[in-house]
Amino acid sequence: MLWKAVRAKKLHLPRILVRLQSSSTAEFQELHPLLLKRAEKYAEELKALEKWMAKGEGTFDVERQKKFSRLCAVVDSFHRYSREIELLKDLQDMMKDDPSLRDEAQQEMAEIRPQLEKTSSSLLGQLLPPHPFADRPCILEIRPGVGGIEAMIFAQDLLGMYINYAHNKRWKYHIISQSANESGSGIVDAILSIDEPGSYDKLRFEAGVHRVQRIPATETKGRTHTSTAAVVVLPQMAEDNEKEAESYERTFKPDEIRIDVMRARGKGGQHVNTTDSAVRLTHYPSGIVINMQNERSQHKNKAKAFAILRARLAEIEQKAKEEKARAARKGQVSTTDRSDKVRTYNFPQNRITDHRCGFNLHDMEGIMAGERLDDVIDAMQIYDSDTRAKELLVEVQGTA
């Protein structure tokens, strides 16, 4: 390696040169010392845990296992980050010390730079407190917005995209409910359950209004239309099975919820044998109403309705907490309005733009096949970590 060989040499440069050199290579934004202090604390915590494990006295339960692997991951990233930063600094020093090596050093810096940026953002992501529902599976609700049938078709395309995404990752998923547009193309709504733990953390950035620009198949004059579909992402709080639903149902007071079933005319009972399994669940305190009819079993429809109610209430509660925290540091960080469009899919230009992080991707086929969705999600994750890091620093500095 270059830097080791030349390290011993020390030459003195005129001051002005030093300044110029360093400014041309100092664009890299190091992580804030307060954040690094956190990392050091994790490293200490890991040491202590390792010591405890080595003694082999207590029980290494699931919780501890989880904690152990999380700490290992953070500390590994931290070490990698420290190594790479040190390397960068050495190269910088080297340039100061020996102008004759400047070109070589700069070349090597350019090489390690992308890696360092990656390490840095993943460490940042790990240092931030995880989202409270990060390890949950998730539920996606997709509905057409403006744009009539074209919006319904786009909603179906999005549903397909998420199914493909789960499929590529070999994640289990199932459609909780889906209603097709009566005229045959597109969907009126769909609820997709992605059963993989942790899928919520990946897909939560999908929430919001998605916009499509393309020439609909039905358009005769070749005009580009703009339509939208809305995606809601909920943390799955329990499986949508009957047992969970029953115990969850019992946590409500009788006057908080109401369950309605389809009202057939006539006398019911032995007089008719139609499958009336549709269920409507109303939760009065929140005003949430959930219709569920996909299953032949009323019992299952009810269980699914309760699973969705549970997810929605958890999300509402979480959003309220976030709002409260945000209000406490009002105006210090930018926030995105949930009703804003989050992403545009421009078919004529083969371009996907995420409006929150400004990320562009030119591969419509890849994204709709679910193969390139991770590109956008990764960009959003970095953007989200940065935003949250800013919030965290404001908070930490505020209390210090």
Partner 1 sequence: MVRIKPSVLKKACQINPLLPLLLPECRTIEAAQQELRWIQNEVSDKKRVRQCCMLRARHYPLQYLLGSQPFGPLDVTCQPGVLIPRWETEEWTVSLAEKLPRDMAFDIMDLCTGTGCIPLLLKQMCPKCSVFAVDRSPLAYKLATRNSNTLQVPLKIIKKDILERSSEIVPRTVDLITCNPPYIPRTTFARETARSVKLFEPKLALLGNKEFYANLVDCWMSRTDAFVYEVGDLSQCYYVLNRVTGDVDLSRKWRIGFRHDSCGRPRIVYGFRASGSRLNWASILVKFGDMKH
Binding site for partner 1 (CB under 8 A): 179-180, 182-184, 242, 246, 259-261, 263-264, 266-277, 293-300
Measured CA distances, 303 to 106, 191, 196 (Å): 62, 14, 19
Nearer to partner 1 among residue 50 and residue 246 (C-beta): 246
CB 391 within 8 A of CB 329: yes
Asked if residues 339 and 355 have their Cβ atoms less than 8 Å apart, the reply is no
Q: How far is the CB of 356 from partner 1 (least distance, A)?
A: 36
The separation between the first and the last C-alpha atoms of the chain, rounded to the nearest angstrom, is 42
**Based on CB atoms, which residue is closest to partner 1, 119 or 277?**
277
Token pair for 182: 């009566």
CA neighbor of 128 nearest in space, from 359, 345, 387, 378: 387
> In which residue are the tokens 């289990």 written?
172
State the minimum distance, in angstroms, from the CB of residue 188 to partner 1. Answer: 9
Q: CB of 164: closest distance to partner 1 in angstroms?
A: 21
Closest separation in Å from C-beta 278 to partner 1: 9
Contact 160, 216 (CB under 8 A): no
* Residue 279 beta carbon to partner 1: minimum distance, rounded to whole angstroms: 10
CB 283 within 8 A of CB 257: yes
Pick between residue 20 and residue 261 the one whose CB is nearest to partner 1.
261
| CA trace torsion 63, 64, 67, 72 (10° rounding) | -150
Q: How far is the CB of 251 from partner 1 (least distance, A)?
A: 15
Q: How far apart are CA 163 and CA 153, in angstroms?
A: 15
Smallest gap from Cβ 314 to partner 1, in A, equals: 25
Residue (223 or 271) nearer to partner 1, CB: 271
Q: Which of 172, 321 has the CB closer to partner 1? A: 172
Q: Which is nearer to partner 1, 294 or 387 (CB)?
A: 294
Torsion of CA 234, 236, 241, 247, to 10 degrees: -100
E strand or H helix at 209:
strand 208-214
CA–CA gap between residue 264 and residue 276 (Å, rounded): 8
CB-nearer residue toward partner 1: 48 or 272: 272
